Amino acid sequence: MNISNGQLWKYSSFIENKYYSFDKEEILKNISKEQIDEAYLTISKWDNYKPTPLLVLNKLSKELNLNKIYYKDESKRFNLKSFKALGGAYAVEKVTKKNKNVIVSSATAGNHGRAVAWGAKRLGLKCKIFVSEYVSEERKNAIEDLGAEVFKVKGNYENSLLECIKNSIQNNWQIIQDVAWKDYKLIPTLTMAGYTVMMKEIADKIHKEKITHIFLQAGVGGLAGAMIAGTVRYLKNIPNIIIVEPDSAACIMESIKSGKIEKINITRESLMGGMSCREPSLVPWEILKKSVNNCISLPDDDIGKAMKLFANGSFGEDKIVAGENSAPGVISLIAICNDENVKKKVNINSNSNILLFGCEGDTDQKMYQKLLKE
């Protein structure tokens, strides 16, 4: 079998970060060691908590002639099927201090809102979630099933966030947002602290083995920033960090290019819905700007194909349920390995141990089935 074959795996752009200057202390000024440790101590005590699997894609690593490819499978995260469960629900618990009189609110493209609704449900709190008209009925229903009231807002994600802020101020609801803005940084930081639990689990599994490269999908950069902070806290070495984005929404790439936050225009919504964001969030940006080595952007073209290969166990021994946002890591890796020039720049070779994030499973089942059938 030849999965990686030639030109079939496309990337759009690749850049190196000319401002790269990894500084552990600077990174931990944004999320502290104490915040990271407290998140793990809290979340690891939740009912039904267990680390998600760290799988190996041994068929693919053999074919690409790499030492190892790890895949963190977040489709198994609680019953929410995405890493987002760690962030939103943790922030709900920390901010409300389990006070049942607090009503929480949030705007979402899907998974974050589901995490907040789940976090509210486990503590018996009321929850109000705002979604844009682009959020599928499937995703909206999943949030309602967790007991939240869902409001559909005309326009895009930004419109849903503005509506959420307006209503929350009027009604004294506590906003639990994963995106930071001026004077709203603590809650997004707590959300990211929740995500770092993944890196603790990974460090516990790999023991003394060294991860050399981490591919991190990014929307506003929360996941990526959290994983870099987690790297500083839990790993002994500093791996190469490669940010992966849809080419229609590569706001981190554009910001890394110029060294400052750039707001981009999205003219086409990517299939990778969770990553279709216009600008980096403030807290992760402070981490990302000097600690990302490379950025790569991808078209949507190969997403369905990668999802199918995950599903039928072509990359490793396991059949993996990988949603749209889980596919771009493996696509970037294969595309880089097919381009000798870029492969050299990223320093990927037969000694490399790669870490990929399977951020979600079939969080939108209808979409998942549709893409598998195509």
Ligand X SMILES: Cc1ncc(COP(=O)(O)O)c(C=O)c1O
Residues facing residue 213 across a β-bridge: 240, 354
How many CB atoms lie under 10 A from the CB of residue 277? Answer: 26
Among 80, 180, 95, 165, CA closest to 130: 165
Q: Which is nearer to ligand X, 75 or 168 (CB)?
A: 75
Q: Token digits for 250?
A: 């590569």
In the complex, what is the shortest distance from the CB of residue 82 to ligand X, in angstroms, rounded to a whole number?
5
Using the rule CB under 6 A, is 88 a contact of ligand X?
Answer: no
Residue range at the interface with ligand X (CB under 6 A); choices 116-124, 133-141, 271-279, 335-343? 271-279
Using the rule CB under 6 A, is 271 a contact of ligand X?
Answer: no
Q: Which is nearer to ligand X, 150 or 359 (CB)?
A: 359
Is the CB of residue 42 less than 8 Å from the CB of residue 85? no
Using the rule CB under 6 A, is 222 a contact of ligand X?
Answer: yes
Q: Which is nearer to ligand X, 135 or 220 (CB)?
A: 220
Residue range at the interface with ligand X (CB under 6 A); choices 54-62, 90-98, 127-135, 221-229? 221-229
The C-alpha angle 157, 215, 329, rounded to 5 degrees, equals: 70
> What string marks each residue from 296 to 335 as x (binds ligand X by CB under 6 A) or -?
-----------------------------x----------
- Taking CB atoms, the residue at the shortest distance from ligand X is 274
Using the rule CB under 6 A, is 52 a contact of ligand X?
Answer: no
Using the rule CB under 6 A, is 361 a contact of ligand X?
Answer: no
Residue range at the interface with ligand X (CB under 6 A); choices 125-133, 204-212, 259-267, 274-282? 274-282
Q: Token digits for 99?
A: 């006070």
Using the rule CB under 6 A, is 250 a contact of ligand X?
Answer: no
Q: Which is nearer to ligand X, 163 or 360 (CB)?
A: 360
E-strand stretches of 57-180? 68-73, 103-108, 126-132, 149-153, 174-175
Alpha carbon distance 162, 150 (integer Å): 15
Per CB under 6 A, which of residues 189..218 are in contact with ligand X? 217-218
Q: Token digits for 168?
A: 């929350």
> What string marks each residue from 104 to 123 as x (binds ligand X by CB under 6 A) or -?
-------x------------
Alpha carbon distance 175, 164 (integer Å): 8
In the complex, what is the shortest distance from the CB of residue 123 to ligand X, in angstroms, rounded to a whole number?
23
In the complex, what is the shortest distance from the CB of residue 280 to ligand X, in angstroms, rounded to a whole number?
8
Q: Which is nearer to ligand X, 223 or 320 (CB)?
A: 223
Alpha carbon distance 336, 346 (integer Å): 8
Using the rule CB under 6 A, is 286 a contact of ligand X?
Answer: no
Strand ordering across the sheet containing 294-298: 13-16, 294-298, 240-246, 213-217, 353-358, 68-73, 54-56
Alpha carbon distance 374, 304 (integer Å): 7
Per CB under 6 A, the list member of 55, 57, 223, 355 interacting with ligand X is 223
Is the CB of residue 365 less than 8 Å from the CB of residue 279? no
Per CB under 6 A, the list member of 73, 93, 360, 364 interacting with ligand X is 360
Beta pairing class for 213-217 and 174-175: unpaired
Instruction: Note the Cα 104 to chain centre separation in Å.
Output: 22
Q: Which is nearer to ligand X, 119 or 274 (CB)?
A: 274
Q: Which is nearer to ligand X, 275 or 309 (CB)?
A: 275
For residue 299, which phi and psi values (nearest 5 degrees)? -80, 175
Q: Which is nearer to ligand X, 102 or 165 (CB)?
A: 165
Q: Which is nearer to ligand X, 114 or 200 (CB)?
A: 114
Among 297, 280, 298, CA closest to 289: 280
Which amino acid appears at position 107 of this protein?
A
Per CB under 6 A, the list member of 17, 82, 105, 352 interacting with ligand X is 82
Chain residues in the site for ligand X (CB under 6 A):
82, 111, 217-224, 274-275, 277, 325, 359-360
